[in-house]
Homo-oligomer: A and B are copies of this chain.
Amino acid sequence: LDYLSGVHSMPDPRQREALIQLEVSMQTGGQMVLTDAEQQLDSLLFKMKQREMQGAAFPPAMHFFKARQLIRNSPIFSLLQKMPKGGALHVHDFSVVDVEWLVKNVTYRPHCYMCFTKDQSIRFIFSSQWPKPLPICSSWFLLEDLRAKTTNTTELDNSIMGNLTLFTDQDPETAYPSQDVVWDVFEQSFLALMGLVTYAPVFRDYYHQSLAQFYMDNVMYLELRALLPEVYELDGSTHDRAWTLKTYEEVTREFTAEHPDFYGAKIIFTIHRGVNVSTMTGVVEEAMKLQRNFPDIMAGFDLVGREDRGKPLWYFRDALSIPVERGVTLPFFFHAGETDREGTEVDQNLLDALLFNTSRIGHGFALTRHPVAKELSQKRGVAIEVCPISNQVMMLVNDMRNHPAAALMSENHPLVISSDDPAMFGASGLSYDFYEAFVGFGGLRSNLGSLKQLAINSIRYSSLTPKQQEKVLAMWQIRWNKFVSENAF
């Protein structure tokens, strides 16, 4: 950049063009060399994006709940749905499948009971006998009976659905006036669906359905953050975490057998950050054991729950240091920097995640305000798992163009795009989040190379072994070529 000084005439247009191209080449995918067919598709995409930016309403500038229908009508979105996107690396176990499936399929199964909590949420249980009442709930109703007595079951079903997702047709700013409120409703919805999805037969089906939803969205690999909760049978007996992990492994094997162009899945065992130190210690030890016993399906360990309310990582430093002190491998995939409380203890999680040698960072929303953590993440290739719609719904950002990942993408910081809890947000798969990243963060300049890079990143930054990565990349490349040749015209 030095050769610019000492100029005594109009800036040289060729030099200017070179600098523009330099900047373009620095973005995510900026170094990607495109084939003729890819270049054709790219010009098509460019025109689509120009049109999208000239429209009266620009979806990335709007709340996703209001933008969703516009996005569904967007030709860019249709392309992104068809595009092979690689892997989904930041998704939570019970927020993947459409709540409609939960209501229309799961709650219609026999032995399904429901009760109403004081704070207007609901709870479920499957049981062969009439279940014992919960302290915070009304007495149980057998859903079959309730539906038989109800004149309008559609209304009942809709109201159940409303309890299982944050998505609403209301004005989102009115429905969720603050981060505290949206997190409370999030946690209530989560508790509501727990009784449904931890019933063993549903648990299997839900996970199968999760893989199917990503598969249908042209995602070929999944790293699922899973609580490995107690799963129960109709008679009230329960299974331990090893059983749950084994079940994940079995269903994954079934699914990939049925769909040979789906590569598979791994599980990141997660614990709520609200636990105390001794529980955390025990859980870390169990995680090490599970990692040893299930090396193929288990990818590592993470903490979940709102960072702003829980203890910071450093609070659990003794527990989190056990694996490295014993020389045992337990990869970390810490959520960190999902906060706007700048400079507080919680805002320290980003640096601490890196000091604990995290493999990736969940969200990293605060990264651009932490130059040391940012440089460490960049130099070590610790990818940020960016979940645009999640950050918007949980009220960290309003207009996606102001999402910090826009700056990260402009300098090709290691990152992947993911969807966190798509069913909670009324999204599904990865395509909605890819849309926000491609149209919202990337502006007019991000191109097919950026999309290709994002897909490749999702394989390169996965916890698959190098050999596995080569295999997935080869599978992905075939599908990518097909996608390009079918859509470039």
Contact = CB atoms under 8 A, between A and B. Distances in A.
A48 interface: no
A74 interface: no
A372 B4 contact: no
A9 B351 contact: no
A327 B23 contact: no
Contacts of A324: 7-10
Contact of A410 (B8, B368, B403, B443): B368
B16 A352 contact: yes
Contacts of A407: 368-369, 404, 407
Interface stretch (A242-250, A251-259, A340-348): A340-348
A354 to B, nearest CB: 8
A479 interface: no
Contacts of A411: 371
A379 interface: yes
Contacts of A344: 53, 443-444
Contacts of A399: 340, 397-398
A1 interface: yes
A304 to B, nearest CB: 22
A57 B409 CA distance: 32
A70 interface: no
Q: Looking at A15, A20, A348, which has the most chain B CB atoms within 10 Å of its CB?
A: A20
Contacts of A20: 348, 351
Given A10-B317, A53-B341, A340-B399, A372 B444 contact: no
A405 to B, nearest CB: 11
Interface string A322-352: 0011010000000000001111100110011
A67 interface: no
A406 B1 contact: no
A370 interface: yes
A146 interface: no
A11 interface: yes
A329 to B, nearest CB: 12
Contacts of A372: 1, 19, 22-23, 26
A contact residues, range: 35 or more
A300 B92 CA distance: 56
B11 A355 contact: yes
Interface in A124-180: none
Given A1-B376, A324-B8, A370 B442 contact: no
Contacts of A22: 372
A426 to B, nearest CB: 21
A435 B320 CA distance: 39
| For the complex of A and B, 8 pairs with smallest distance between CB atoms | A342-B443, A343-B444, A343-B443, A10-B321, A11-B355, A343-B445, A368-B407, A398-B398
26 contacts: A1-B376, A4-B355, A4-B376, A7-B324, A10-B317, A10-B320, A11-B355, A16-B352, A20-B348, A23-B370, A23-B372, A23-B373, A53-B344, A340-B402, A342-B442, A343-B443, A344-B443, A347-B444, A368-B368, A368-B406, A369-B407, A370-B410, A396-B402, A397-B402, A398-B399, A407-B407
